[in-house]
Protein backbone atom coordinates (compact mmCIF):
# COMPACT_ATOMS: atom_id res chain seq x y z
CA UNK A 1 0.00 0.00 0.00
CA UNK A 2 2.82 2.43 0.91
CA UNK A 3 6.03 0.70 -0.26
CA UNK A 4 8.31 3.65 0.53
CA UNK A 5 7.34 3.53 4.23
CA UNK A 6 8.09 0.93 6.85
CA UNK A 7 5.61 -0.07 9.48
CA UNK A 8 6.41 -0.91 13.06
CA UNK A 9 4.44 -1.79 16.14
CA UNK A 10 4.29 0.29 19.31
CA UNK A 11 7.19 -1.83 20.57
CA UNK A 12 9.68 -0.15 18.19
CA UNK A 13 12.57 1.75 19.75
CA UNK A 14 12.87 4.57 17.21
CA UNK A 15 10.31 7.37 17.42
CA UNK A 16 7.87 7.09 14.51
CA UNK A 17 7.26 9.75 11.87
CA UNK A 18 3.51 9.08 12.07
CA UNK A 19 1.20 7.14 14.38
CA UNK A 20 -1.85 5.39 12.94
CA UNK A 21 -4.10 4.17 15.73
CA UNK A 22 -7.25 2.06 15.81
CA UNK A 23 -9.35 4.15 18.17
CA UNK A 24 -11.43 1.13 19.17
CA UNK A 25 -8.34 -0.63 20.54
CA UNK A 26 -6.45 2.14 22.33
CA UNK A 27 -6.91 4.94 24.80
CA UNK A 28 -6.74 8.09 22.69
CA UNK A 29 -5.30 10.18 25.53
CA UNK A 30 -2.51 7.65 26.13
CA UNK A 31 -1.51 7.75 22.47
CA UNK A 32 -1.56 11.55 22.38
CA UNK A 33 0.47 11.71 25.61
CA UNK A 34 3.03 9.15 24.37
CA UNK A 35 3.57 10.88 21.01
CA UNK A 36 3.17 14.61 21.63
CA UNK A 37 5.46 15.66 18.75
CA UNK A 38 4.27 13.08 16.21
CA UNK A 39 1.30 13.46 13.85
CA UNK A 40 -1.48 11.04 14.81
CA UNK A 41 -4.10 9.58 12.49
CA UNK A 42 -6.91 7.75 14.25
CA UNK A 43 -9.51 5.53 12.65
CA UNK A 44 -12.53 3.50 13.73
CA UNK A 45 -15.89 2.29 12.47
CA UNK A 46 -18.16 5.10 11.32
CA UNK A 47 -20.66 4.07 13.99
CA UNK A 48 -18.15 4.64 16.82
CA UNK A 49 -19.03 8.30 17.30
CA UNK A 50 -17.83 8.34 20.91
CA UNK A 51 -14.43 7.00 19.82
CA UNK A 52 -14.20 9.63 17.10
CA UNK A 53 -15.01 12.34 19.64
CA UNK A 54 -12.43 11.00 22.13
CA UNK A 55 -9.70 11.05 19.50
CA UNK A 56 -10.59 14.60 18.46
CA UNK A 57 -10.60 15.69 22.10
CA UNK A 58 -7.22 14.02 22.70
CA UNK A 59 -5.73 16.13 19.91
CA UNK A 60 -5.31 13.65 17.06
CA UNK A 61 -4.31 15.42 13.84
CA UNK A 62 -6.77 13.42 11.74
CA UNK A 63 -9.68 11.18 12.71
CA UNK A 64 -11.46 9.17 10.04
CA UNK A 65 -13.77 6.24 9.52
CA UNK A 66 -11.94 2.99 8.82
CA UNK A 67 -13.33 2.88 5.27
CA UNK A 68 -11.83 6.32 4.52
CA UNK A 69 -8.41 5.15 5.69
CA UNK A 70 -8.44 2.31 3.19
CA UNK A 71 -9.98 4.32 0.36
CA UNK A 72 -7.81 7.45 0.76
CA UNK A 73 -4.64 6.20 2.45
CA UNK A 74 -2.10 8.34 0.61
CA UNK A 75 -4.34 11.42 0.61
CA UNK A 76 -4.61 11.21 4.41
CA UNK A 77 -1.04 10.25 5.24
CA UNK A 78 1.07 12.39 2.89
CA UNK A 79 0.09 15.78 4.42
CA UNK A 80 0.80 14.48 7.92
CA UNK A 81 4.24 13.21 6.90
CA UNK A 82 4.99 16.48 5.12
CA UNK A 83 4.49 18.30 8.41
CA UNK A 84 7.47 16.43 9.95
CA UNK A 85 9.87 16.82 7.03
Q: Is 29 within the bounds of a domain?
A: yes
Q: Is 3 within the bounds of a domain?
A: no
Q: Is 49 within the bounds of a domain?
A: yes
Q: Is 56 within the bounds of a domain?
A: yes
Instruction: Report how many domains make up the chain.
Output: 1
Q: Is 68 within the bounds of a domain?
A: no
Give the pTM: 0.81
Predicted confidence at residue 70, as pLDDT, reads 85
Predicted confidence at residue 74, as pLDDT, reads 87
Q: Is 1 within the bounds of a domain?
A: no
Helical residues (DSSP H) of the chain, grouped into ranges: 28-34, 49-58, 66-71, 73-82
Residue 30 structural domain = 25-34+44-60
Predicted confidence at residue 32, as pLDDT, reads 96
Q: Could you report the per-residue pLDDT of 1-33, keeping only the tens digit for each?
A: 555 555 566 666 677 889 999 999 999 999 999
Q: Could you report the per-residue pLDDT of 54-71, keeping only the tens digit for each?
A: 999 999 999 999 999 888
Amino acid sequence: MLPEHRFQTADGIDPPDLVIADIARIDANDVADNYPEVPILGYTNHTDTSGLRRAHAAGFDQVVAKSALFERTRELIDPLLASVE
